[in-house]
């Protein structure tokens, strides 16, 4: 299934599912978990069915009954799938009739999966994570949802189709109001930007505000798409901490639906360090809540360590004052917790670790003790990159933000520098309230960091990729214009023929008589129509010349692109890029002429 097919399927599934919700009594937040649970169940069944034949074949024919099932279950260990008891298989549930027992069956299926999925130590990896509130759903709605996610295209889906669908639905639920304040979902654009800069591909990966686990999922995508390996093939471990129980469940489901394993624990990061990974992480990523106040000083004082060994190596930020009703220093609270997060992410890195996280723009220039903390941080030489992001990247808030990056393995020649990127004017408009980065924009921003790090060959490879893509479009240009020209010529001939017919008095009288007294075919209207047709003809030659010039420019550059070989030097690509840019005015003029011709033809056609 290619990208376009998957996009159409995602849109179709969401439209069908959201239509059901619109006709029910459920809010988006009430609806989200049951739907995500069904996507998880459909995905788990598809993976299970794909691996089952090979696993069954490996089981001894002598093994029967319970012993056979035990051996089949063992066969799923270490595979990118989970063993499903028969009662938990989607096709079994899809065969059940609509009614109150369907909700009970889905609930029992979720319980059976939680009991069945364990690690080598017998720990239940999904215990308490799967939604079970299906009995209270409207019976017809539940039956229709089962059908929506049981379409033939989903029964035979391969690869990471369900992972993408799960992410898509998380995204849509976030935009439709199923989250409050953006807690469970960080927009993919920002996560991909973070992953693109720190490049997590091994070791321990930590997210102390993990929400639905998007940082881990995008890390897996990076390993597969850029490193061309599967996460099962690399030594990487995901650790997450999340304050909200619901979000931790979403994260565990998200990891499972992508075939990933992670240790997700519930805890308030300000007061609890559930994983105890201080100084032990290869990569830290997060989108923490911004501008939190009310963190109690008494509970975090002990985190301030000597010689940068504690969770807060640079000290406490400013204090807001005493909480009303409490005595002494115990009631003091931190005025803004941004500087706590900034230090937590730093102190968890090992000697060569990298971190990337989202932070409120105000944290970059906050004064007083926050400024002192930033100064100490900069003096370590480990602040690597800062990227300013414009508004409308978050679904529930329009505020701008900044992406911060640390790198403890920076070479000595970069220790005294920080790369500052102003990307506030880099975005693509999706809607009036939503902006994203396109893959090209993400690639271009990442390329700036490559050049900063001296990785010039990666920049050259990206430039070569763009030039090859341009060559593919240019190679199709002549064919596409020829096909378009056939349609244009046909329409022009039709318009010309009809224009001549309007001068035939007998034919015109017959038409007017057939249409009746309110025919509307006035002489003035027909004269205007003939003038428009003549206008098209008088301008067509100029438009054709513009298109021919565009084709001629493409004919010069295309062979040079096609002659490029892997490993061509930067100088060659730079020269070619200059030629591509030089041909752009002719290409744009040709395409503008094409658009103008189409518009004028359609306008003329619609005159009568």
Average pLDDT over residues 412-420: 95
17: pLDDT confidence band, cut at 50, 70 and 90?
confident
**In 226-322, which ranges are continuous DSSP H helix?**
245-257, 297-300
Residues 6+ apart with CB under 8 A from 501: 507, 508
- Inter-CA distances, 1 with 176, 225, 254, Å: 27, 16, 21
What whole-number distance in Å separates Cα of residue 71 and Cα of residue 564? 54
Phi, psi of 440, rounded to the nearest 5 degrees: -65, -40
**460-477: string of b/e by CB count within 10 Å (b at 16+)?**
bbbbbebbeebbeebeeb
Position 328 pLDDT exceeds 50: no
Residues 237/255, Cβ–Cβ less than 8 Å: no
What whole-number distance in Å separates Cα of residue 351 and Cα of residue 410? 11
Pairing type for strands 262-266 and 236-242 reads parallel
Q: For the chain, which domains are there?
A: 3-159 (1.20.1260.30), 179-289+299-323+336-453 (3.40.50.150), 463-605 (no CATH)
What whole-number distance in Å separates Cα of residue 48 and Cα of residue 89? 9
Lowest mean pLDDT segment, chosen from 172-176, 349-353, 547-551: 172-176
Residues 219/205, Cβ–Cβ less than 8 Å: yes
- Inter-CA distances, 301 with 208, 310, 317, 493, Å: 19, 10, 11, 84
Q: What are the structure tokens assigned to 588, written together?
A: 């744009």
The string of pLDDT tens digits covering residues 50-67 is: 888 988 888 888 888 888
Q: What is the pLDDT of residue 576?
A: 92
pTM summary value: 0.81
Chain centroid to Cα 160, Å, comes to 13
What whole-number distance in Å separates Cα of residue 64 and Cα of residue 56? 11
Q: What are the structure tokens assigned to 107, written together?
A: 């609930």
Residues 195/354, Cβ–Cβ less than 8 Å: no
Find the farthest-apart pair of alpha carbons in the chain and give their distance in angstroms, rounded. 103
Position 398 pLDDT exceeds 80: no
Residue 382: how many CB atoms within 10 A of its CB? 20
Q: What is the pLDDT of residue 159?
A: 62
More confident residue, 69 or 311: 311
Q: What is the pLDDT of residue 513?
A: 86
Find the angle CA(386)-CA(387)-CA(389) to the nearest 5 degrees.
145
More confident residue, 534 or 198: 198
Position 181 pLDDT exceeds 50: no
Position 381 pLDDT exceeds 90: yes
User: Per DSSP, which regions of 258-382 are E strands?
Assistant: 262-266, 281-286, 319-322, 332-334, 349-360
Residues 6+ apart with CB under 8 A from 65: none
- Inter-CA distances, 248 with 203, 288, 295, Å: 22, 14, 22
608: pLDDT confidence band, cut at 50, 70 and 90?
low
Residue with tokens 């992406």: 403
* C-alpha atoms less than 13 angstroms from C-alpha of 361 in its C-beta half-sphere: 12
Average pLDDT over residues 256-274: 90
């Amino acid at each position: 299934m290619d990208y376009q097919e998957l996009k159409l399927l995602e849109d179709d599934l969401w439209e069908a599912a959201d239509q059901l919700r619109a006709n029910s009594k459920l809010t988006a937040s009430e609806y989200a978990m049951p739907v995500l649970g069904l996507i998880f169940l459909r995905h788990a069944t598809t993976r299970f069915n794909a691996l089952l034949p090979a696993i069954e074949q490996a089981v001894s024919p002598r093994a029967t009954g319970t012993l056979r099932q035990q051996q089949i279950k063992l066969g799923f260990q270490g595979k990118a799938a989970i063993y499903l008891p028969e009662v938990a298989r989607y096709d079994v549930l899809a065969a059940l009739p609509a009614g109150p027992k369907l909700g009970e069956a889905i609930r029992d299926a979720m319980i059976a999966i939680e009991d069945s999925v364990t690690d080598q130590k017998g720990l239940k990896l999904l215990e308490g994570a799967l939604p079970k509130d299906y009995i209270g759903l409207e019976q017809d709605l539940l039956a229709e949802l089962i059908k929506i996610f049981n379409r033939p295209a989903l029964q035979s889906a391969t690869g990471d189709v369900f992972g993408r669908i799960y992410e898509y639905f998380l995204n849509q639920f976030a935009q439709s109001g199923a989250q409050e304040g953006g807690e469970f979902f960080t927009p993919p654009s920002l996560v991909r930007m973070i992953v693109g800069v720190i490049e997590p591909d091994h070791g321990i990966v930590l997210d102390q505000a993990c929400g639905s686990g998007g940082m881990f999922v995008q890390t897996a995508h990076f390993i597969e798409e850029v490193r061309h390996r599967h996460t099962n093939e690399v030594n990487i471990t995901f650790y997450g901490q999340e304050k909200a129980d619901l979000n931790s469940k979403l994260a565990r489901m998200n990891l499972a639906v992508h075939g990933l394993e992670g240790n997700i624990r519930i805890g308030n990061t300000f007061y609890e360090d559930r994983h105890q990974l201080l100084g032990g992480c290869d990569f830290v990523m997060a989108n923490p809540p911004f501008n939190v106040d009310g963190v109690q000083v008494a509970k975090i004082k002990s985190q301030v360590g000597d010689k940068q060994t504690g969770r807060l190596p640079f000290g406490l930020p400013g204090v807001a004052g005493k909480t009303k009703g409490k005595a002494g220093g115990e009631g003091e609270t931190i005025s803004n917790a941004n500087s706590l997060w900034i230090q937590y992410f730093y102190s968890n890195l090992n000697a060569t670790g990298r971190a990337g996280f989202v932070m409120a723009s105000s944290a970059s220039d906050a004064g007083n003790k926050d400024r002192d903390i930033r100064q100490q941080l900069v003096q370590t030489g480990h602040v690597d990159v800062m990227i300013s992001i414009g508004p409308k990247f978050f679904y529930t808030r329009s505020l701008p933000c900044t992406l911060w990056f640390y790198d403890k393995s920076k070479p000595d020649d970069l220790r005294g520098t920080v790369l500052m990127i102003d990307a506030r004017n880099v975005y693509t408009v999706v809607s009036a309230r939503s902006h994203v980065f396109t893959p090209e924009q993400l690639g271009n921003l990442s390329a700036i960091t490559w050049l900063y790090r001296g990785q010039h060959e990666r920049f050259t490879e990206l430039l070569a990729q763009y030039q090859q893509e341009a060559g593919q479009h240019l190679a199709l240009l002549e064919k596409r214009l020829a096909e378009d020209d056939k349609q244009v010529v046909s329409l022009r001939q039709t318009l010309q023929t009809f224009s001549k017919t309007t001068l035939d008095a007998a034919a015109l009288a017959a038409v007017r008589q057939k249409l009746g007294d309110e025919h509307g075919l006035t002489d003035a209207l027909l004269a205007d129509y003939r003038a428009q047709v003549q206008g098209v003809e008088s301008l067509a030659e100029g438009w054709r010349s513009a298109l021919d010039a565009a084709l001629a420019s493409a004919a010069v550059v295309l062979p040079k692109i096609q002659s490029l070989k892997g490993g061509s030097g930067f100088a060659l690509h730079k020269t070619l890029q200059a030629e591509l840019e030089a041909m752009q005015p002719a290409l744009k003029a040709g395409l503008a002429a094409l658009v103008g011709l189409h518009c004028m033809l359609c306008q003329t056609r619609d005159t009568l």
